[in-house]
Amino acid sequence: MTTFRNFIGGQWVAPSTGAYFENRNPANQDDLIGQFPASGVADVEAAVASAVRGFEKWKRTPAPARGDVLRRVGDLLASRKDELADIMTREMGKPLAETRGDVQEGIDTAYYAATEGRRLFGHTVPSELANKWAMSMRRPIGVCGLITPFNFPLAIPTWKAFPALLCGNSVILKPAEDVPHTATVLVEILLEAGLPPEVIQLVHGMGEVIGKAIVEHPQVPVISFTGSTETGRFVGETCGRMHKRLSLEMGGKNAQIVLDDADLDLALDGVLWGAFGTTGQRCTATSRLVVQAGVHDALVSKLAERAKALRLGDGRVAGTDVGPLVSEAAREKVERYIGIGKEQGATLVCGGERATGGALDKGFFFQPTIFTGVKAGSRLDQEEIFGPVLSVIRVESVEEAFAVNNGVRYGLSSSVYTANVNVAFRALQELDNGITYINAPTIGAEAHMPFGGVKETGNGHREGGWEVYEFYSETKVGYVDYSGALQRAQIDNY
């Protein structure tokens, strides 16, 4: 059995607690990946002290040179793509085709960040006074605490860490307890690429201990959190009280809308991928299918047939379509919602049970599940399940479809299948989501575009694209008066 360590103070070190937790393959609980540190508050204190030292050096490194480090990270990720995909599938379950995509997001994010090292633009503007120069520039902030989820073990840490590092900050990474191995390898790659050791810290452990300590630490002025809305509420309250810069990316209850004029085969492929890719464990997963009455029955019939044919199994085995849920707790949550759906009068069309037999008995497998007759406002319509459960809602009109989409507390992603260009552009304008796709599923964000949602999905900041670099840097304004005399802005020019 392999025992892993934290990376603190430029060294791989054991936790101060002396305690560890096991990491096992969710497709086969007999497969022990290793034991990882169940760290304590003292480990966070040591990590912060080191990160403060690292920041003082790293912030003085020219931004293009910081970008060069991240370009080398991208090269290393590309050279180890298959290895990293295998590591991720083993510890969180989704098929290799998906984890290869996870690595590719990290590669794309690295290369994009590398170019931003020469593009951390400020502005120069005319001064209102003669012989005076007015400009702005971007400056790093300090230590960034990054708390990441299990479903994208490599991509999401890179979404957060690479822009933070490019902007000149130091980073403390706290990965989800379900995916500690991937985070460990990512830190190894950053170091191999030439990142100064004290610029990156890796602290494993439980969220209620390590995540909480990072969020509450007065020397960590920036927090980026991806996870549940409930935990995000605590993080937001703490950061608000301590005046910290905070980015929240939380829950989703995403709808794919299929209208009567849609290409049904295209819509069918989209909802299968959106609902059951990553076993439904995406914040952008298609958890609701909103179908206009004219095509409802035909689409549902084809959908149920295709869903029943999906092959469940170990994601590292060729031919697997759907992997396991990440944990027994996740599977039990899905089972509770099966009961809720039945109690509230929805019709179970397929699935609804654990997937068992043979090798499936060793993992946390659950049948792809479809409910029809789901009512707007019911719990299946409103609450995030984070599993392979699709709720089908029948509507009569475009207006009703849009209202159903908007009638939840979340607002991350949506999609509309239609041949009507006017309706498509109405959807882009009227749907209350941070992302809307036309004739594509609710999943598929690209690394060079901003990512995030509205309402209770987030707090207005975006990951990815150009906007994230504004989050991880401060605007500094500079004036140079070369007139040789006292000039008073807003006074002397009137």
192 close to 25: Cβ distance less than 8 angstroms: no
Short-list 440, 98, 436, CA closest to 270: 440
Report how far apart the first and last C-alpha atoms of the chain are (Å, whole number): 77
The per-residue DSSP string of 385-415 comes to --SSEEEEEEESSHHHHHHHHHSSSEESEEE
The phi and psi torsions of 138 (rounded to 5 degrees) equal -100, 135
Q: Determine whether 283 is an active site residue.
A: yes
**Residues paired with 133 in a beta bridge:** 126, 480
User: Can you tell me the distance from the alpha carbon of 483 to that of 377, in angstroms, rounded to the nearest whole number?
Assistant: 66
Residue 379 CB-density burial (10 A; 0-12 exposed, 13-18 middle, 19+ buried) = middle
Catalytic, out of 98, 216, 283, 463: 283
Q: Which two tokens stand for residue 158?
A: 């890179």
- The helix (H) or strand (E) run that includes residue 256 is strand 254-258
CA angle 477, 249, 456 (to 5 degrees): 105
CA 111, distance to chain mean position in Å, is 19
44 close to 209: Cβ distance less than 8 angstroms: no
Residue 370: strand, helix, or coil:
strand
Q: How would you write 40-97 as a 3-class SS string?
A: CHHHHHHHHHHHHHHHHHHCCCCHHHHHHHHHHHHHHHHHCHHHHHHHHHHHHCCCHH
Q: Determine whether 335 is an active site residue.
A: no
Catalytic, out of 249, 384, 456, 463: 249
Q: Which residues participate in catalysis according to the annotation?
A: 249, 283
